[in-house]
Structure 1
Amino acid sequence: MKNAPSLVVVMVFLICWVGCWLPVATVLAILLNWQPTKPLQPEQKTPLLVSLYLLAPLILWGVGWLVNRSFLDYGFVSNFSILKSLALGFALGVLSLAIVFSGQFGLGWCSFQNLHIKLLLPILLPIFFIALLVGGIEELIFRGFLLTELAQDYPVWLAAVISSFIFAFLHLVWEQRESLPQLPGLWLMGMVLVLARLVSSGNLGLAWGLHAGWVWAIATIDTAELITYTGKVSDWFTGKNKKPLAGLAGIICLVGTGAIIWLFSKYF
């Protein structure tokens, strides 16, 4: 497979990944008493998601061996620089969302539920570790493997566009109704994360940190129900189905983050 077209390599990985996960998912679905006619509950989705993501590095290692590439080629470096970039990206991700939500508070688009602060302590660390896992695996796959492989046959900008489209559309696997309005935002998120890798000389740390920071902040807010939308403006501004990426606020967050990365690229 060393000389195989990049799209073939990508398809082999995706088929092997899903093929190996389906038996695991079937067993978990039975144990979790999930019924296909009903939507997945958070307590059902988490084990399925974690099992899918834990399989990914092993499948990716196998495909990487076939094409003679390692995780290092995909931007996953094992030194202090990735930890530094990870911390910086995480801080930037959380700060960008804090600024956007502060603006929404100021405009009266949403309100903060002070009484729910007590719910934070038990969930902060578990969500943090899940965010690191989700962010790390997705960056290794989409900004690491997919971008690197596609860039073998296409210009980097086109590889970025294609990998970001794949990243966005694969979110439909879990929740079609909630994910569909987010597709443009998810694609833009993918492009911003590609930029984060490029300005870091191929290191995935900054992109991983950004991704994990966004996941951690949003999941914490949703789980603790810290924010209530007032309905003063259309949810196309705040986010359809209470998902920031499905609204103007999320797009502004991504564009602003991308601008910061671009303007201060020499520091990353």
Structure 2
Amino acid sequence: MIRRPVWARLVAFMLTLLALWLPLAIPIHLIWGEYEIVNFINGALLYSIFIILLRVWGKRVHRQDQPLQFYGFVLNGPMLLEAILGWALGVAALALLFLIQFSLGWIDWQGIPPQFSNVLLSGLITGVGVGFAEELLFRGWLLKELELDYIPWFALVVNGIIFALLHYLHPPEVIRETWPQFFGLVLLGWNLVLATWACRGRLGMAMGLHGGLVWAYFGVNIGGLIEYNGSAPEWMTGINENPIAGVLGCAMLLGLGTLFLTRIPKPQ
């Protein structure tokens, strides 16, 4: 079987996805307008079509009987355990980061607000959704397509850069405000690739780690648990109060990456 080059496959996949989604999404938007629920419906519709297309793509293009398993999604005990461990690791890493800052006197504890359980529940739903959706897309489909054409470490580098760049599909003013987190996003993407490799291509650890980081940050940020007191520069703690836009947050990601590197199985 002759396989087309990776960039041709990526473009073909994305164009097919848009061709299937836009005829449904545009009428929904025109009829009901700019409402949060409309954006949610269109987003859910897009991802549902993505999963269906992924199954068809894996069977037709790569001749896989189990396409989702081919892309790393294996719904079994080991993957579930890895997802739980990844979630715990993400929460622990972010908790350690804030504990260090608190011990250094850089942040002040604000206490637990009323109805904090609602914040945690909202964060849980967000974390599970983001972890599943982004990891199946970036460390599942995209990483596998890159690995088929490139050596592993080049695939890792490209995957992390694409992951970071696609977080900047925003108006120019938003891009200007959030650009300092770019390197941190690249590091996060590389960590999630290493987490996938450490689990022999299964996505559980990456999904859990990503979701746990989102949940922990959601709880701290939306819950208002801490407040930066200005005793340390933003480039150290995180520009715009985003941990991965600061030296300390990037150091945390480097530490996680080192941990995953030691867990990657050696070639037989």
TM-score clears 0.5: yes
Which of 138, 144, 157 pairs up with 2:140? 144
* Alpha-carbon distance between aligned partners in 2 of 1:178 and 1:256, rounded to the nearest angstrom: 27
The residue identity in structure 2 corresponding to 1:262 is L
The letter of the residue matching 1:93 is G
Change beyond 3 A, Cα 1:249–1:173: same
In structure 2, what is the Cα distance between the partners aligned to 1:106 and 1:26?
Answer: 53
- Give 1 or 2 for the bigger CA radius of gyration: 2
Identity %: 36
**In the alignment, which residue of structure 1 is the partner of 2:252?**
253
Paired residue secondary structure (2:227): strand
> What is the CA-CA distance between 1:114 and the residue it aligns to?
0.6
SS at match of 1:78: coil
Equivalent AA in structure 1 for residue 122 of structure 2 = P
Unaligned ranges ≥5, structure 2: none
User: Which is worse superposed, 83-92 or 123-132?
Assistant: 123-132
1:37 aligned residue? none
Q: Please show how residues 144-183 of structure 1 align to structure 2 within 5 Å.
A: 144-174=140-170, 175-183=174-182
Q: Tell me the C-alpha RMSD between the 2 structures.
A: 2.5
How far apart are 1:264 and its partner, in Å? Answer: 5.0
Q: Give the partner amino acid of 2:121.
A: L
- Closer, same or farther: CA 161–233 of 1 in aligned 2, 3 Å: same
Larger CA deviation: 48-57 vs 125-134: 48-57
Q: Partner letter of residue 95 of structure 1? A: A
The alignment's TM-score, normalised by the length of structure 1, stands at 0.86
Q: Within 1, Cα distance between the matches of 2:204 and 2:213?
A: 14
Instruction: Give, in whole Å, the separation in 1 of the partners of 2:17 and 2:43.
Output: 13
Q: 1:129 to 1:260 in 2, by over 3 A?
A: same
Partner-residue secondary structure (3-state), 1:114: coil
1:66 to 52, 55, 60: 60
Which one of 56, 80, 83 corresponds to residue 83 of structure 1?
Answer: 80
Q: Mean Cα displacement is larger for which, 208-217 or 218-227?
A: 218-227
- SS of equivalent to 1:228: strand
Cα distance in 1, alignment partners of residues 14 and 177 from structure 2: 23
Q: Indicate the residue corresponding to 1:225 in structure 2.
A: 224
One-letter amino acid matched to 1:179: T
TM-score, length-scaled by structure 2: 0.86
Q: Deviations over 1:224-253 (max 9, x none)?
A: 122211111221111111111111122012
Equivalent residue, structure 2, for 1:99:
96
Aligned length: 258
Stretch deviating more after TM superposition (222-231 or 194-203): 222-231
1:113/1:225 contact within 8 Å kept: yes
Structure 2: how far apart are the matches of 1:25 and 1:132?
A: 27
Letter in 1 for 2:77: F
Aligned residue number for residue 51 of structure 2:
57
Letter in structure 1 aligned against 2:96:
I
How far apart are residue 167 of structure 1 and its match? 0.6
Tell me, which stretches of 5 or more residues in structure 1 are unaligned? Answer: 35-41
Change (3 A) 1:165 1:30: farther
Q: Which piece of structure 1 moves more, 160-169 or 170-179? A: 170-179
Q: Check conservation: 1:150, 1:159, Cα contact below 8 A.
A: yes
1:192-221 CA deviation, whole Å, 9 max, x = no partner?
A: 111111111111111111011011111222
Q: Counterpart in 2 of 1:244?
A: 243
